[in-house]
């Protein structure tokens, strides 16, 4: 097994591929090494790809009409990221995606995915399950925004994503939680006093 193929089995952990299948996938994935602060998708772009994060950290965010940024998603090692709403419906992006840290990612186009699904049906199942998890996490987030205080959401965030907390600034976390950096700072102080 060469280096490229080992990345395939790392990405699609629970699937056993034949040599031929691995090569098929390998040809569809494009590796990108990105510096910190690089924007790989902008609002109004056509969204034809999704990205696997090998290492580093990225985020998707939305800029509202007053110019404020709102973080929808972070992605670190072994996460997939895109503007999925646009990706699925073949509409223009509403989100931005940028690297928060230097990152290595693998890009795959929608067309490539469709081709692969025909050859390797297990891949369709793989992505469907990813999708279902993303859906569940969105639902959890909506319920949290309805039922929890800012402090509760912060505590829940850092315990659910301890690895993300290390890679992102507090103002990123604040924009994910829907609060200001000042409020987050006060919440952190309050917690540290307990």
Partner DNA sequence: TGATTTTATTGACATACATCAATTTTCAGT
Partner DNA sequence: ACTGAAAATTGATGTATGTCAATAAAATCA
Say whether residue 79 binds DNA (CB under 7 A): no
Cα–Cα distance between 74 and 40 in angstroms, integer? 14
Packing angle, helices 181-193 and 170-177, rounded to 10? 100
Packing angle, helices 181-193 and 150-160, rounded to 10? 80
Say whether residue 143 binds a second copy (CB under 8 A): yes
Q: Which is nearer to a second copy, 52 or 61 (CB)?
A: 61
Say whether residue 80 binds a second copy (CB under 8 A): no
Q: Which of 39, 142, 160, 169 binds a second copy (CB under 8 A)?
A: 142
Q: Which of 81, 98, 141, 187 binds a second copy (CB under 8 A)?
A: 141
Minimum CB–partner distance for residue 55 and a second copy (Å) = 26
Is the Cβ–Cβ distance between 108 and 52 less than 8 Å? yes
Minimum CB–partner distance for residue 89 and a second copy (Å) = 6
Four-residue CA torsion sign, 183, 184, 189, 190: positive
Q: Which of residues 15-44 bind a second copy (CB under 8 A)?
A: none
Say whether residue 150 binds DNA (CB under 7 A): yes
Taking contact as CB under 8 A, which single stretch among the options 11-19, 37-45, 62-70, 185-193 is the one that binds a second copy? 62-70
Say whether residue 181 binds DNA (CB under 7 A): yes
For 49, residues 6+ apart whose C-beta sits below 8 A from its C-beta are 82, 87, 107, 108, 109, 110
Say whether residue 170 binds DNA (CB under 7 A): yes
Packing angle, helices 150-160 and 170-177, rounded to 10? 120
- Per CB under 7 A, residues contacting DNA are 149-151, 169-171, 178-186, 188-189
């Amino acid at each position: 097994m060469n280096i490229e193929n080992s990345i395939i089995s790392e990405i699609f952990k629970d699937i056993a591929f034949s040599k031929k299948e691995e090569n098929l996938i390998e040809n569809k994935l494009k590796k990108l090494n990105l510096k910190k602060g690089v924007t790989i998708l902008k609002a109004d772009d056509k969204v034809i790809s999704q990205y696997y994060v090998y290492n580093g950290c990225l985020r998707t965010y939305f800029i509202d009409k007053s110019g404020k940024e709102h973080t929808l998603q972070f992605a670190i090692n072994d996460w997939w990221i895109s503007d999925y709403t646009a990706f699925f419906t073949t509409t223009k992006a509403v989100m931005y995606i940028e690297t928060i840290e230097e990152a290595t990612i693998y890009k795959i186009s929608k067309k490539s995915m469709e081709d692969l699904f025909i050859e390797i049906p297990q891949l369709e199942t793989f992505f469907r399950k990813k999708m279902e998890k993303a859906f569940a996490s969105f639902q959890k987030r909506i319920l949290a925004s309805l039922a929890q205080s800012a402090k509760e959401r912060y505590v829940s965030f850092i315990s659910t994503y301890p690895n993300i907390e290390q890679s992102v600034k507090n103002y990123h976390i604040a924009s994910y939680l829907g609060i200001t950096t000042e409020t987050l700072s006060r919440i952190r102080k309050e917690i540290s006093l307990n």
